[in-house]
Chains A and B, each alone.
Chain A
């Protein structure tokens, strides 16, 4: 009989090597998949590597792609650590972009040093509004947060659709009716770093956010309460923590992070409001946060890994000639090996022979 025996201490070296093994195993399994369609495996992986880390431009793309994933991942970390099962990151990303777009209208003309913080803050505020609604539904009306956040996701998507199609924000004129807003003015583009055309200043924010999250989680009373809430809310309640208030704070903070992702996408990448580049960022963030072991630093690495895969996907498609849908499949496969590796790091596999 095979049993898993808990290790005394998770061994750092063993943890690291098991995760490397997971990546290798994940890639190996993907190779089988690639080979099954007759494509050339080394070519495909070459393209993947080239597209994710092969050049400064590829690295920039990886960073840009990782940015929203890390932020939605952090949103997940904060909520899930408190055992608040918010699935609302998806809608909050949309809300962030919408709030940011509204901000761009309201704050147009301000100097950049005021404009960008202003519009990002408005985006985050819009997300926080959503988080607040879910928190009120949970605290006041005992509506399970999975239900409320899933429902709010749908509502936000339809709201954006209306704003862009039939509502006030749709692009009018020569190219009317295409589910997108007009292009933002150049002054509303997040400034580029290192003269790159792609690497916008927003890529710095996830790292800043992760550092803040790490500090908050491990060193502040709020982080203490978040962790405590996840472990044992009853004890916290007995010891004077206002659970409803803490839940609201957590859901709003989490929503703000997810919304920041949406706002950065708007000002850094798409430069106009439209839905298709926002779809899936929230759901992917949940997975990123969980692969990151619900730790802010782990989430950064997981986000970079997923960002690299996403960035390499196009190269794989164009140079390696495999369907782009290989990438989500590879992400899924790698995720599973990661999970197995996580188990390996925490447990020892022991073959138990019946003792006579």
Chain B
């Protein structure tokens, strides 16, 4: 156990935290945009899964990782299109639309995957490698933790301030937040609520899909059934725990990833407790942390309520 405090392990815990959190961060920021626009998209898991599958397919077919990134984004946006159609046009209950999307994505990706490999050996690809940022990556501790990561990791970390800027400093962001708080306020100014919701959900889902794609391209070399393994739910939890604010979500995702990384290292250094307990640690600790927190809810007032004029 004392090993845990050695420098190499501390660096490893922190670096692992960053690796675990970055795919989640893309998806969480995407879901943040979606939910701030008033759409309660429960289909994060399905969107991430589809993004991951699209990335796998394109990576193995073309060998180009950046094309695969694009594919994950497009696949995510398409899932967003489905959600937007269901919620903004058909005004279906947001929960069921999202849960239905998960079901559909789980089935379709597996079906296409099986059709794709058809009994032959599964094609694999070689994913993204770490990029050492010159000079910075040589700084002790911080260097290997922060400046020796996948290229997309840096993008993910940049996405937080970008989303913040988009939401709070851009004209579009003001309208987007207005969708979540009171879409009628836009409607009475003659702006189309549903067009903006489509845009927001597709943008958000594209980022969510990218999160899945990054998970695939950065940390795996193959697709498997249920590849995302419940990370979509963690994203939703992080969004609520982060109180629908970019910084809050960043903190929530980081805290969760840190706990998971810590539990990983505890198991590896041989803590003498059942490994299941260590695996459960992030979930237990998250509940504990949230019990201690209390804040004025930042949940958008009209989140999950289909908007209709008459």
Which residues of chain A have a CB within 8 Å of any CB of chain B? 4, 6, 33, 36-37, 80, 85, 87, 137, 141-144, 146-148, 150-152, 154-155, 158-159, 161-162, 165-167, 283-284, 286-287, 290-291, 323, 325-333, 335-336, 339-340, 342-343
Separation of A325 and B115 alpha carbons in the complex (Å): 10
From A150, A151, A332, A342, B103 is in contact (CB under 8 Å) with: A332
Q: Which of B90, B91, B234, B279 has the most CB of A within 10 A?
A: B90
Q: Does B159 contact A (CB under 8 A)?
A: no
Separation of A148 and B236 alpha carbons in the complex (Å): 12
Given A162-B274, A283-B99, A332 and B280 contact (CB-CB distance below 8 Å): no
6 contacts between A and B (CB under 8 A): A141-B291, A144-B240, A150-B237, A328-B107, A331-B103, A343-B92
- A12 shortest CB reach to chain B, Å: 21
Residue contact B108 to A166, C-beta cutoff 8 Å: no
Q: Does B86 contact A (CB under 8 A)?
A: yes
From B91, B115, B237, B276, A161 is in contact (CB under 8 Å) with: B276
What chain A residues lie within 8 Å of B174 (beta carbons)? none
Residue contact A328 to B279, C-beta cutoff 8 Å: no
From A142, A284, A326, A333, B104 is in contact (CB under 8 Å) with: A333
Q: Which residues 100-158 of B sit at the A interface, judged by CB distance below 8 A?
A: 100-108, 110-111, 113-115
Sort A-B residue pairs by CB-CB distance and give the 3 closest, nearest first: A332-B104, A328-B107, A329-B107
Select from chain B the residue with minimum beta-carbon distance to A332: B104
Q: Does B188 contact A (CB under 8 A)?
A: no
What chain A residues lie within 8 Å of B92 (beta carbons)? 339, 342-343
What chain A residues lie within 8 Å of B237 (beta carbons)? 146-147, 150-151
Select from chain B the residue with minimum beta-carbon distance to A287: B99
Task: State the main secondary structure of chain A at its contact with B.
Answer: helix
Separation of A146 and B253 alpha carbons in the complex (Å): 16
Q: Does B96 contact A (CB under 8 A)?
A: yes
Residue contact B274 to A137, C-beta cutoff 8 Å: no
Separation of A4 and B284 alpha carbons in the complex (Å): 46
Q: Which of B82, B95, B107 has the most CB of A within 10 A?
A: B107
Given A287-B100, A329-B108, A37 and B115 contact (CB-CB distance below 8 Å): yes
Select from chain B the residue with minimum beta-carbon distance to A327: B107
Separation of A47 and B99 alpha carbons in the complex (Å): 28
- A203 shortest CB reach to chain B, Å: 24
- B154 shortest CB reach to chain A, Å: 29
Bitwise, B40-76 to A at CB < 8 A (1) or not (0) is 0000000000000000000000000000000000000
Q: Which residues 259-300 of B sit at the A interface, judged by CB distance below 8 A?
A: 274, 276-277, 279-280, 283-284, 286-287, 290-291, 294
From A151, A165, A333, B287 is in contact (CB under 8 Å) with: A151
Select from chain B the residue with minimum beta-carbon distance to A33: B111
Residue contact B104 to A339, C-beta cutoff 8 Å: no
Separation of A331 and B287 alpha carbons in the complex (Å): 33
Select from chain A the residue with minimum beta-carbon distance to B86: A339
Q: Does B181 contact A (CB under 8 A)?
A: no
Residue contact A147 to B110, C-beta cutoff 8 Å: no
What chain A residues lie within 8 Å of B113 (beta carbons)? 325
Separation of A330 and B107 alpha carbons in the complex (Å): 8
Separation of A283 and B96 alpha carbons in the complex (Å): 11
Select from chain B the residue with minimum beta-carbon distance to A328: B107
Q: Does B93 contact A (CB under 8 A)?
A: yes
Separation of A166 and B91 alpha carbons in the complex (Å): 49
Residue contact A332 to B100, C-beta cutoff 8 Å: yes
Residue contact A143 to B291, C-beta cutoff 8 Å: yes
Residue contact A150 to B236, C-beta cutoff 8 Å: yes
From B90, B96, B101, B274, A167 is in contact (CB under 8 Å) with: B274
Select from chain A the residue with minimum beta-carbon distance to B96: A290
- B226 shortest CB reach to chain A, Å: 10
Residue contact A150 to B276, C-beta cutoff 8 Å: no
Separation of A142 and B97 alpha carbons in the complex (Å): 27
Select from chain B the residue with minimum beta-carbon distance to A161: B276
Residue contact A147 to B310, C-beta cutoff 8 Å: no
Q: Does B172 contact A (CB under 8 A)?
A: no
